[in-house]
Structure 1
């Protein structure tokens, strides 16, 4: 074999070797790349959202995705071989709707079943005073934006002194119901419910005791004394 033929053969062998090596490298690279489905599954599990769009880069090294979850919409890049997040940017923030007062009250009663005695609403927090069947009273606070119960605390006897109905109002109610003059009013607990017990002086030197619900202002009963 002459020299020109040997040179051509050597060159051909070199080209073939380079081609084979390149093919093996590309093949190995492609074998290491995760499928789009596998990457999406890992991303959705990590960020508790839904991937709505996914494309692979031309060099097959990354996936570009659009992810939506309760906090907003995100654009992210994930490594094609490990599914690790290379970059992540929120492109749209979610604005969760605020629940209605009726929905907030339902949530409060779900946490503490009973009767709502008082309702207040300040900013995005709704507060409910709820009395259970066993007579215990709770203050339940609901965040109307996040739709969660912030607290549900039992009100102690000391805290229950702060009632919607004042002693003066209780005396006025007792006088209106009996037509007499209220002498004194004491806050007491009866069967798990706070009441004002008002002593009333009636005409002809008679007396009456009026029991008034400290939260609703309703008269529970009236006892007349000779």
Structure 2
């Protein structure tokens, strides 16, 4: 009888010991696991981009991370205890090719048809000062990475004095003054004043260039060519 009781107690003690050990192992394992916030912070500190999703596996051993950056979308599996990367795969690529200057200018002129008077570029954003035929001036900004027009704003009269005559009117004035046929008219800035320079075809295969003040419509100069 005593032997039986002793055997039962021995078995119970062994089972209890196993349970206690398992409990401490599980507890220790859980205590060693980093929080989701800690893992995300370490990933973002190590890699360019932003973590948009983070979930812990059922066995608590790893974290599944989704990272977004300019090059694409990445799926990362990280160790739950150390946040070390176990695997990293790009699941979506982003087209990194940007526009050329010529393509950006074409896009700007498509939004605001006219003549480009000035062009600058900074941080892959191209800015164009474009003057329309009616004399109105716009600043058009193009994002060369996104391949899109960011803005197209008319420059106010405080910043850019508007012309009083149009390109068509300048041609009419030139034809009236020379008796010829206006071929083309360009708006140029001369000593702070906008001038229409009109090319005129004359009889007998001769030509003339007429310069007209764009604000007043007065003829500033006529140059006849043989």
TM-score scaled to structure 2, two decimals?
A: 0.45
TM-score (norm 1): 0.45
